[in-house]
């Protein structure tokens, strides 16, 4: 039903598109600025006006410095370990929980449900959890990074919603053939839920990749630090000193460059995979939102 | 998400089946493996959620790690009294509430407006381009985002370079107490507006298209359609999310604050959660900070119940 647009509609559309275009610029520009600044020659930036629409000169020293920093490499390695282990534990327990809560005829189900949902609205607080993890001797181990957040209640509920929407007859016929619930979950339900599974893996994976607070309070050994904690030292606590040792002359501009290069090094992996994954994320949120 | 949650909570009324031994045995035989699967999940919730709730009783004790929770002596409401009479309480509650209220005024409506605007874009390529880019900052870690914010707001940073072009004097944002809240809220909107709009877009896609046609026939223009069809269509989602938001009125997450603030701006930047972190984890005043945290949780819980009750009576939309 193509109709000629009235003047007011054209104005409406133009203004709308323009504001959204501004939003895109505001979102993208900081990253571009960081990219340009990281590639610029630090001394040129210092001399000329520093507002950048393109790199001032070209210089990869900052990147070399970042990659030479052993902590950055250790951080990358540890983060990968935490992402893989953590996500595996998350997925196993979340599938179990979602399966249990999706069984219609289970006695005690509403009680389990209440127990779980209540934790979304009330918690014991930071300090009791901190003392608990200390008491369990998880401090300074990988477990402190992966066990306290083993299930996200949001994700559990989204996954349960997806399991519930599966035809009950499927499970019943399998059971009649003598399958037990583990078989039903791993061989029937999970293979049929690949979209939601991939979304959950992404949600959990990203949250492990970005997590730093648990590491900050539970890890004292530097060789266990995840990348985010190393980034925090470089970007926020300003400890670029260790990286600029041996550089003669003015250290300050180099230190700024190193910060920008660090942001890029930490962000580029996500920027590269993001366009391919984005639609799955959106699907996940939609699944959670639409089904009642 | 919220709609799902709502239906979950509605199902919570506990089944009143008669419990007899034979019933239990039959249940176990039938669902043995389901119960086995439930064990690790329940253990997780009991250990990492309910044990800390029990552990919060150290707020009423003079806790020392060597004596343990049970062994430490009771001290009643001493820690609460200490907090209520302390020099910091006014500042902490004021900062927490102001950040929350600004968040509700500015950050909360932003994704709704974005969703409404995206909904009006007819060109689907342009729409998905805007969406893809606006979701992006949500995936960048907080550490990196705050690292960028601190760089950009420094005296020689990007924002000052831009305002200097317009001849405005450079502002030392992060050592000036009066700028903290603006920077906090602005960076919050920047990072989350796109991502948070998804849930409203989902609600929008559920509106019956016939309503638009009917409105169109009645002579309603795009603007009127937005006011009379689209907005009422997403109102339940908005209300549910607002209830949840009000249930968190007294909490501002510590992660972002701890990354952003510094002692010179504690006057406006320090909130209850960051204070709990400093007192509890850095200074090891376990009981005192647990008392503050518990006070905080209870107020939030009461606010959630209040907001839900008000909403149920006024708009017939509620969490439970």
* pLDDT exceeds cutoff 80 at A286: no
> How many Cα atoms occupy the beta-carbon half-sphere of B192 within 13 Å?
16
Check residue B121 and give its pLDDT: 92
**pLDDT band, very low/low/confident/very high, at A57 (cuts 50, 70, 90):** confident
Check residue A292 and give its pLDDT: 37
* pLDDT exceeds cutoff 90 at A249: no
| Chain A, nearest residue to B46 by Cα | A115
ipTM: 0.88
Residue A155: its H or E element: helix A153-164
**pLDDT band, very low/low/confident/very high, at A291 (cuts 50, 70, 90):** very low
Q: SS3 for B74? A: strand
pLDDT, tens digit, 9 for 90 and up, residues A125-138: 999 999 999 999 99
- Residues of chain B in contact with residue A116, where contact means CB-CB under 8 angstroms, are 45
Size of interface A-B (CB pairs under 8 A): 282
Average pLDDT, chain A: 85
pTM: predicted TM-score of the whole model, two decimal places: 0.89
* % pLDDT > 90, chain B: 58
Range with the poorest average pLDDT among A209-213, A234-238, B45-49? A234-238
| Chain A, nearest residue to B165 by Cα | A51
pLDDT, tens digit, 9 for 90 and up, residues B63-84: 998 898 999 999 999 999 999 9
Check residue A218 and give its pLDDT: 95
Q: Tokens for B34, please give them.
A: 């389901």
Q: How far apart are the first and last CA of chain B?
A: 14
CB contact under 8 A, B4 and A158: yes
* % pLDDT > 70, chain A: 88
CB contact under 8 A, A263 and B7: no
* pLDDT exceeds cutoff 80 at A51: no
* pLDDT exceeds cutoff 50 at B207: yes
Among A1, A86, A101, A124, which would you mutate to test the B interface (most chain B Cβ atoms within 10 Å of its Cβ)? Answer: A124
CB contact under 8 A, A51 and B165: yes
Helix residue ranges per DSSP H, chain B: 2-10, 21-45, 51-55, 68-71, 78-84, 89-102, 109-119, 124-135, 142-152, 158-165, 180-205, 209-217, 222-225, 231-246, 254-260, 266-269, 272-277, 286-315
Residue for token pair 């902590």: A71
- Find the CB nearest A96 among B17, B37, B276: B37
* pLDDT exceeds cutoff 50 at A18: yes
**Residue B61 bridge partners (DSSP):** B74
Mean per-residue pLDDT, A74-103: 95
- Residues of chain B in contact with residue A281, where contact means CB-CB under 8 angstroms, are 135
Mean per-residue pLDDT, B234-239: 90
Closest CA to B197 of B279, B118, B124: B118
- Find the CB nearest B12 among A49, A110, A270: A110
CB contact under 8 A, A27 and B30: no
Range with the poorest average pLDDT among A218-222, A248-252, B31-35? A248-252
Distance from C-alpha of A119 to C-alpha of B234, rounded to nearest angstrom: 27
pLDDT, tens digit, 9 for 90 and up, residues A259-271: 889 999 888 888 8
Query: Phi first, then psi: what are they for A168, rounded to 5°?
Result: -65, -30
Average pLDDT, chain B: 89
Between A259 and B7, the higher pLDDT residue: A259
Residue for token pair 């992006």: B136
CB contact under 8 A, B162 and A51: yes
């Amino acid at each position: 039903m193509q109709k000629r647009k009235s003047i007011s509609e054209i104005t409406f559309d133009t203004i709308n598109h323009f504001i959204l275009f501004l939003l895109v610029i505001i979102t993208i520009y900081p990253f571009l600025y960081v990219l340009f600044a990281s590639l610029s020659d630090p001394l040129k930036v210092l001399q000329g006006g520093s507002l950048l629409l393109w790199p001032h000169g070209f210089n990869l020293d900052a990147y070399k410095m970042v990659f030479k920093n052993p902590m950055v490499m250790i951080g990358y390695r540890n983060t990968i370990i935490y992402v893989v282990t953590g996500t595996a534990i998350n997925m196993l327990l979340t599938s179990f929980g979602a399966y249990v809560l999706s069984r219609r005829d289970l006695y005690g189900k509403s009680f389990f449900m209440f127990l779980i949902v209540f934790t979304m609205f009330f918690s014991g607080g930071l300090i009791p959890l901190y003392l608990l993890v200390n008491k369990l001797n998880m401090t300074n181990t990988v477990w402190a990074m992966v066990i306290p957040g083993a299930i996200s209640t949001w994700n559990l509920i989204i996954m349960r919603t997806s399991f519930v929407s599966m035809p009950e007859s499927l499970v019943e016929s399998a059971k009649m053939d003598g399958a037990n619930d583990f078989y039903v979950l791993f061989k029937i339900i999970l293979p049929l839920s690949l979209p939601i599974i991939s979304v959950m893996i992404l949600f959990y994976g990203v949250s492990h990749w970005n997590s730093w607070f648990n590491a900050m309070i539970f890890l004292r050994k530097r060789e266990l630090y995840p990348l985010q904690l190393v980034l925090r030292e470089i970007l926020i606590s300003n400890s670029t000193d260790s990286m600029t040792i041996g550089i003669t002359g003015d250290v300050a501009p180099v230190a700024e460059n190193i910060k920008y290069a660090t942001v890029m090094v930490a962000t580029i992996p996500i920027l590269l995979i993001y366009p391919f994954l984005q639609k799955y994320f959106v699907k996940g949120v939609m699944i959670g939102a639409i089904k009642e | 998400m919220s709609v799902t949650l709502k239906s979950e909570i509605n199902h919570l009324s506990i089944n009143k089946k008669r419990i007899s031994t034979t019933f239990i045995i039959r249940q176990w035989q039938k669902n043995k493996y389901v119960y086995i699967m439930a064990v690790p999940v329940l253990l997780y919730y009991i250990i990492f959620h309910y044990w800390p709730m029990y552990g919060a009783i150290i707020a009423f004790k003079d806790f020392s790690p060597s004596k343990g929770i049970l062994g430490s002596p009771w001290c009643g409401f001493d820690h609460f009294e200490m907090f209520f009479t302390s020099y910091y309480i006014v500042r902490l509650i004021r900062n927490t509430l102001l950040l929350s209220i600004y968040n509700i005024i500015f950050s909360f409506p932003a994704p709704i407006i974005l969703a409404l605007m995206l909904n009006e874009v007819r060109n689907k390529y342009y729409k998905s381009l805007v969406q893809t880019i606006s979701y992006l900052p949500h995936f960048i870690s907080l550490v990196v985002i705050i690292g960028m914010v601190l760089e950009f707001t420094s005296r020689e940073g990007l924002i000052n370079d831009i305002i200097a072009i317009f001849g405005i004097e450079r502002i030392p944002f992060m050592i000036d107490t009066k700028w903290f809240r603006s920077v906090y809220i602005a960076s919050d909107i920047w990072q989350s507006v796109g991502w948070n709009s998804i849930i409203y877009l989902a609600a929008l896609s559920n509106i019956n298209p016939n309503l638009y046609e009917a409105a169109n026939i009645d002579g309603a223009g795009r603007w009127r359609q937005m006011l009379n069809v689209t907005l009422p269509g997403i109102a339940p989602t908005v209300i549910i999310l607002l209830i949840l938001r009000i249930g968190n009125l007294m909490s501002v997450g510590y992660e972002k604050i701890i990354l952003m603030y510094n002692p010179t701006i504690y006057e406006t930047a320090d909130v209850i959660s960051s204070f709990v972190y400093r007192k509890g984890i850095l200074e090891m005043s376990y009981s005192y900070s647990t008392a503050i945290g518990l006070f905080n949780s209870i107020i939030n819980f009461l606010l959630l119940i209040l907001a839900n009750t008000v909403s149920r009576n006024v708009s017939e939309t509620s969490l439970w």
